C-alpha cells in the first residue's frame, strides 16, 4: 500500500472512528479474555490500514489473525495473542521505530523503507528456513526483484531481512469515457495509445485532464521518466535515455537483465543536477495538470469526475475499476454516463514496488513473528487477503491461480478447482464449454491470450503451468487483470526505486519548490508598495502626533510665559 499521507481518510475516519478502530480493539480484547493467564504469548503486529483480511463478523468468517491464533493453539498448543495496530504513512512508522519507543515484533513497510531500516540497523534477519511456505510459494519474479535491491552496494541482503507481502506498479489510470474528452476531440483509441507514454502527461492535449500524486517519491518517479526519456549528459558523461534503451532491447542488443539494470540505474539517479532537472519538468507538469491528489483520486476516477487521467498505484487502480463497474451496474438513472476505467504501464518503464514484513531488532517474539509471516504466505490465506484487500500478494501457488482464473479467465472450469475453494463463494463463473462453443472469428474478437507464467513458475503443485495462460475478454484489455499482473513484455522495464538516503533533504526542497505557488511579479510589487505605504503612513502619523503634542506644549508654555509677563507687568506697574 502506497498511501503516504492520507489526510482526508484520516479526517473521515475520525468521523467513523468507532467503525475503524473496533476490529483492532475487539480482536486483542477478545483474545486476552480468551486466555486469561500468564502463558499468553503476545505478538505485536504493525501494518497498514485495511491491509489484511479482517473476516466478516456477520457471516462468521474469522479474520486471518484469529485463524492464526487458532492454528497456533491447535497445532502447537501455544496460546498466542496478536495485538494488531495500524499506521498510515511509512514516515510516521519509521520515526516511531527510530526513537526506539515502539515494541513491535513485525512491521510491514515499503521497499525503500526496508532498505533504510537495514542501513540504519533497525531490523534483524530471518532465520534460515524459518518461512518454508514463503520460500516455496513466493513468486520467482518478485523474489528476484527483491534480491536485486542493493543495500550499501550489495545485493541479496533485503531478501534476508524481509519477506514480501503485496506488490504492484505505478502507472496511469485513465478514463476513456470521461465527458470532457469529446470537447477536446480525443478518441478512446487515441487515448489508449497515448497512455503508453509518460510524455503524454506533458502534452497540451491533456492539460487540465490529469491528476498527479501529492507525494514526493511517486511524482519524482514520473518526472524522471520524462527528464531522461531521451539521451542525456550528466557530469560530462553521456547516458542513453529510457527510449534508446528500450529500442536497443527490442532490437535484441540488450538482453532482459541488461535492460532492467540500465533502466534501474537511470531511474535511481538522484544527484543534485538530476533533481534540479526533474524539478523543472515537474513544474511544467504541475502547470499542465488539473491538480494533485493522494487518496481522493481513486474515488474521483471511479465517479468519472474532475479528471480523466490519474497517476495511480495498481492496487488503487483495480479498486477504482471495481468501484466504477459497481456504480455502472447499480445506476438506475437513464441518463447515467457509464464510467469504464483502464490502466496502463507506459512502455519506457515504470516503478515496481512491494511491501514486506520485517522484524525489528528489539522484537521479543522473533519465532512467532516468523510463524505469522509464514502463515500469511500460505497460498490459501494469501488468496483470502487478495480477495479482501484487492492488492496483489507476492505469493503464487495453486489457490492464487484459482482465484485469479475464476475472476478473469473466460475458460474457467469449475471442476479444475483445487483444495479449499471456500474463498470463491459468490463469484459467477463462465465455463470452458461456453467459450469453446463460439465460432472461431467471434472468439478472436472476444478474447485475447495472456501468459502470466512468469509469476507462477515453480510454485504450482496440482495445477499445470499452462493454466497460467489466460483467455481474457477483449473488452477487458488494460483492465483489472492487466492491472494486477502486468504483461510479461513490460516486466524488464519495471524498476524498484531505492531510498534517496542523504539526498532526501535536497529532494524535499525541490518538491516544496514545485508545490510552491509563485505569484505574478506585480503582486510582489504591490505587496512591497503596500508595506512601504503602511510604514510611511505610520511614521507620518507619529510625527504629526508628536508635532501636535509639541505645539500644545509650546502653547502652554507661551500662555504661562504671557501670564508671567502679565504678572511682572502688573507688579511693575
Partner 1 sequence: MKYKYFRKGLALPFALFLILFVIIPILFIIFYAFTDNQGFFSFDAVVSFFTSTTKLNVLLVSILVGLFNTVLCLLIGFPLAYLLANPKFNKNYVLVMLFVMPMWINFVLRTGALRDLLSIVLGWFNTTNGEHPLFCTMVGMVTNYLPFTILPLYSTMLKLDKSQIEAAQDLGCNPFKTFTRNIIPQTLPGLVSASMMVFMPTISSYVISDTLSEGKIMLFGNSIYLSFSNSDWNGGSFMSLIMLIIIFIVMFATKKFQGNGSERRLSAW
335 binds partner 1 (CB under 8 A): no
Rounded to whole angstroms, the Cα distance separating 454 from 112 reads 24
554 binds partner 1 (CB under 8 A): no
The interface mask with partner 1, positions 441-460, x = CB under 8 A, is --------------------
Rounded to whole angstroms, the Cα distance separating 532 from 538 reads 10
Q: Which is nearer to partner 1, 70 or 287 (CB)?
A: 287
* Least distance in angstroms from the C-beta of 90 to partner 1: 10
280 binds partner 1 (CB under 8 A): no
518 binds partner 1 (CB under 8 A): yes
Query: Kind and range of the H or E element at 560?
Result: helix 521-572
* Interhelix angle 366-376/64-76, nearest 10 degrees: 120
- Contact (CB, 8 A) for 320 and 479: no
12 binds partner 1 (CB under 8 A): yes
DSSP 380-426: HHHHHHHHHH-SEESB-SHHHHHHHHHHH-TT--GGG--S--GGGTT
What are the residues facing 350 on neighbouring strands? 494
DSSP, collapsed to helix, strand or coil, labels residue 516 as: coil
94 binds partner 1 (CB under 8 A): yes
User: Which of 310, 218, 214 has the alpha carbon at shortest distance from 6?
Assistant: 214
Contact range with partner 1 by CB under 8 A, out of 266-274, 283-291, 338-346, 488-496: 283-291
* Least distance in angstroms from the C-beta of 441 to partner 1: 43
* Least distance in angstroms from the C-beta of 91 to partner 1: 5
Contact residue for partner 1 among 519, 521, 522, 571 (CB under 8 A): 519
HSE-CB of 426 using CA atoms within 13 angstroms: 2
Q: Which is nearer to partner 1, 304 or 492 (CB)?
A: 304
* Interhelix angle 296-303/314-330, nearest 10 degrees: 30
Q: How far from the centroid of its chain's Cα atoms is residue 515's Cα?
A: 19
* Least distance in angstroms from the C-beta of 306 to partner 1: 6
Rounded to whole angstroms, the Cα distance separating 114 from 566 reads 97
The interface mask with partner 1, positions 36-75, x = CB under 8 A, is ----------------------------------------
* Least distance in angstroms from the C-beta of 113 to partner 1: 11
DSSP, collapsed to helix, strand or coil, labels residue 493 as: helix
286 binds partner 1 (CB under 8 A): yes
Q: Is 147 exposed, middle or buried (0-12, 13-18, 19+ CB in 10 A)?
A: middle
Q: Which positions from 479 through 508 interact with partner 1, judged by CB under 8 A?
A: 504-505, 508
534 binds partner 1 (CB under 8 A): no
Q: Which positions from 212 through 241 interact with partner 1, judged by CB under 8 A?
A: 214, 216
Phi/psi for 56 (5° steps) reads: -140, 110
CA dihedral 111, 113, 117, 119 (to 10 degrees): 80
Q: Which is nearer to partner 1, 515 or 555 (CB)?
A: 515
208 binds partner 1 (CB under 8 A): yes
281 binds partner 1 (CB under 8 A): no
For cell 480477495, the residue is: 387
Q: Which is nearer to partner 1, 305 or 569 (CB)?
A: 305
Q: Which is nearer to partner 1, 300 or 467 (CB)?
A: 300
Contact residue for partner 1 among 119, 253, 427, 527 (CB under 8 A): 527
Binding site for partner 1 (CB under 8 A): 4-5, 7-8, 11-12, 15, 89, 91-92, 94-95, 180, 208, 211, 214, 216, 286, 289-293, 296, 305-307, 504-505, 508-509, 511-513, 515-519, 523, 527
Amino acid at each position: 500500500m502506497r498511501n503516504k499521507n492520507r489526510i482526508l481518510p484520516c479526517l473521515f475516519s475520525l468521523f467513523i472512528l468507532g467503525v475503524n478502530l473496533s476490529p483492532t480493539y475487539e480482536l486483542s480484547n477478545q483474545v486476552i479474555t480468551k486466555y486469561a493467564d500468564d502463558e499468553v504469548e503476545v505478538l505485536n503486529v504493525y501494518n497498514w490500514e485495511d491491509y489484511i483480511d479482517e473476516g466478516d463478523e456477520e457471516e462468521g468468517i474469522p479474520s486471518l489473525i484469529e485463524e492464526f491464533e487458532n492454528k497456533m493453539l491447535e497445532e502447537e498448543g501455544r496460546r498466542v495473542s496478536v495485538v494488531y495496530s495500524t499506521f498510515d504513512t511509512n514516515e510516521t512508522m519509521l520515526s516511531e521505530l527510530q526513537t526506539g519507543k515502539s515494541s513491535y515484533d513485525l512491521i510491514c513497510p515499503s521497499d525503500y523503507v526496508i532498505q533504510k531500516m537495514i542501513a540504519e540497523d533497525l531490523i534483524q534477519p530471518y532465520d534460515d528456513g524459518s518461512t518454508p511456505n514463503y520460500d516455496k510459494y513466493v513468486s520467482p519474479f518478485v523474489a528476484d526483484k527483491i534480491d536485486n535491491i542493493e543495500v550499501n552496494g550489495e545485493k541479496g541482503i533485503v531478501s534476508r531481512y524481509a519477506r514480501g507481502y503485496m506488490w504492484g506498479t505505478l502507472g496511469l489510470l485513465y478514463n476513456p469515457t470521461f465527458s470532457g474528452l469529446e470537447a477536446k476531440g480525443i478518441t478512446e483509441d487515441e487515448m489508449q495509445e497515448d497512455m503508453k507514454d509518460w510524455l503524454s502527461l506533458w502534452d497540451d492535449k491533456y492539460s487540465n485532464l490529469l491528476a498527479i500524486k501529492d507525494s514526493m517519491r511517486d511524482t519524482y518517479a514520473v518526472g524522471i521518466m520524462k527528464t531522461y526519456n531521451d539521451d542525456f549528459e550528466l557530469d560530462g558523461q553521456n547516458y542513453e535515455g529510457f527510449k534508446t534503451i528500450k529500442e536497443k532491447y527490442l532490437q535484441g542488443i540488450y538482453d532482459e537483465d541488461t535492460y532492467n539494470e540500465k533502466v534501474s540505474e537511470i531511474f535511481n539517479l538522484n544527484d543534485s543536477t538530476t533533481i534540479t532537472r526533474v524539478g523543472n519538468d515537474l513544474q511544467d507538469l504541475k502547470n499542465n495538470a488539473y491538480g494533485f491528489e493522494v487518496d481522493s483520486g481513486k474515488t474521483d476516477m471511479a465517479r468519472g469526475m474532475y479528471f480523466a487521467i490519474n497517476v495511480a498505484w495498481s492496487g488503487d487502480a483495480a479498486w477504482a475499476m471495481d468501484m466504477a463497474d459497481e456504480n455502472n451496474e447499480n445506476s438506475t438513472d437513464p441518463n447515467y454516463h457509464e464510467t469504464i476505467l483502464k490502466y496502463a504501464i507506459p512502455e519506457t518503464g515504470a516503478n515496481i514496488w512491494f511491501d514486506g514484513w520485517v522484524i525489528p531488532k528489539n522484537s521479543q517474539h522473533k519465532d512467532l513473528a516468523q510463524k505469522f509471516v509464514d502463515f500469511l504466505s500460505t497460498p490459501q490465506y494469501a488468496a483470502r487477503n487478495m480477495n479482501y484487500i484487492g492488492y496483489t500478494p507476492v505469493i503464487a501457488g495453486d489457490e492464487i491461480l484459482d482465484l485469479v482464473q475464476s475472476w478473469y479467465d473466460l475458460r474457467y472450469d469449475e471442476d479444475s478447482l483445487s483444495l479449499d475453494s471456500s474463498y470463491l463463494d459468490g463469484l459467477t463463473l463462465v465455463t470452458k464449454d461456453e467459450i469453446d462453443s463460439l465460432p472461431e472469428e467471434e472468439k478472436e474478437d472476444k478474447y485475447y491470450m495472456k501468459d502470466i507464467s512468469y509469476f507462477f513458475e515453480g510454485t504450482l503443485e496440482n495445477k499445470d503451468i499452462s493454466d497460467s495462460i489466460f483467455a481474457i475478454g477483449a473488452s477487458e484489455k488494460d483492465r483489472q487483470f492487466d492491472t494486477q499482473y502486468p504483461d510479461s513484455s513490460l516486466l524488464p522495464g519495471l524498476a524498484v526505486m531505492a531510498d534517496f538516503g542523504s539526498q532526501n533533504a535536497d529532494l524535499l526542497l525541490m518538491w516544496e519548490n514545485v508545490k510552491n505557488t509563485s505569484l505574478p511579479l506585480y503582486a510582489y510589487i504591490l505587496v512591497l508598495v503596500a508595506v512601504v505605504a503602511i510604514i510611511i503612513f505610520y511614521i507620518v502619523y507619529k510625527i504629526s502626533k508628536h508635532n501636535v503634542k509639541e505645539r500644545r506644549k509650546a502653547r502652554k508654555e507661551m500662555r504661562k510665559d504671557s501670564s508671567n509677563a502679565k504678572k511682572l507687568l502688573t507688579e511693575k506697574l
